[in-house]
Structure 1
């Protein structure tokens, strides 16, 4: 009986600790808007702003960037909000709390962080806007406290685990918008 009680307590503590690790922000229940100020990784000039807003049907994502090379660039929410590494590697991999395969933004089974591609014009500017049904700013799968990463190449939506989108050219932490 004592052994069973000890195992139960151990599982309870592990479950609690696991839940704590899954939610980077202590109070996400009242957050309905978030913002990211993108900064370039070493050797790049990309910068911009990404906004997230809870709307009917999901989370509206709006991004405006400059300094990109013309063409498509992978655009993802990454698992960590640590933007300290010069190459952006401290942000970890794509945010994937449900353990899905990588895919495009319209796939029903995909990483929660798979936002698709930004498309930069000849001047290096890109605008992105869509309502994403899988993102959330509340609960254990909240994107708050994580990061947004922009990549050098297009996301092909099939190469596992990250779409072959190349180096990280910009990133920033997702924070509640005040």
Structure 2
């Protein structure tokens, strides 16, 4: 298959997934059966579509397709974040510096669990060498209605991989292993427990009905 045909196929898949969210609103105010997030990079280009649909057994069925993700050929952190605002020029108030999509807040984590156990933690996204990625999975960690609080929610693809805070402090025989010099602790430090060290935010999309 030529690269041109592959690129056309990727665009078609992205459009098809984007257009497949068709559930009508409920007259009783219940959340819709399907919601979607269209993720844009800092240049404003749509690079991913994530669809979430209520399924059986209290689970949500999640489908995602992405293209033009960088770096290609790598795993990328993939999460629901707490705030439905995707400002590519947002400011981190702690530093006064521009941090793209900082406005989306941290990982969706209403139960205040350590990372790996956040409600918004998704499986890492494996990006192919051509910058495309597919994902299909189920989660029972949250309900659609929880994503529509007063400030909404967003889906983020990060530039780096997510280690899910799997940083063992010792070997099986009890010898010291990984040490954070930043906080002088063995095992995951507070940054790892919050983010999984997934790096900066490559793309962001507000979750919409």
> CA separation in 2, counterparts of 1:135 and 1:60?
11
Determine the structure 1 residue equivalent to 2:102: 89
Determine the structure 1 residue equivalent to 2:155: 148
Matches within 5 A, 1:21-100: 29-42=30-43, 47-57=47-57, 58-68=59-69, 69-86=72-89, 87-100=100-113
Structure 1 length as normaliser, TM-score? 0.74
Determine the structure 1 residue equivalent to 2:204: 171
Q: Tell me the CA shift for residue 34 of structure 1.
A: 0.2
Contact 1:46 1:67 in 2 (8 A): no
Contact 2:38 2:46 in 1 (8 A): no
Q: What RMSD in Å do the two structures reach over aligned CA positions?
A: 1.7
Q: Tell me the CA shift for residue 85 of structure 1.
A: 3.5
Determine the structure 1 residue equivalent to 2:135: 128
Relative to 1, partners in 2 of residues 1:30 and 1:160: Cα closer, same or farther, differing over 3 Å?
A: closer
Point out 4+ residue stretches in structure 1 off by more than 4 angstroms.
Answer: none
Determine the structure 1 residue equivalent to 2:178: none
Higher strand share: 1
Determine the structure 1 residue equivalent to 2:122: 115
Relative to 1, partners in 2 of residues 1:172 and 1:56: Cα closer, same or farther, differing over 3 Å?
A: same
Contact 1:65 1:125 in 2 (8 A): yes
Structure 2 length as normaliser, TM-score? 0.63
> CA separation in 2, counterparts of 1:116 and 1:56?
20
Q: Point out where structure 2 has 5 or more consecutive residues left out of the alignment.
A: 1-27, 90-99, 166-191
What whole-Å deviation, never above 9, does each CA across 1:58-78 have from its counterpart, x for those lacking one?
A: 001100000112210000000
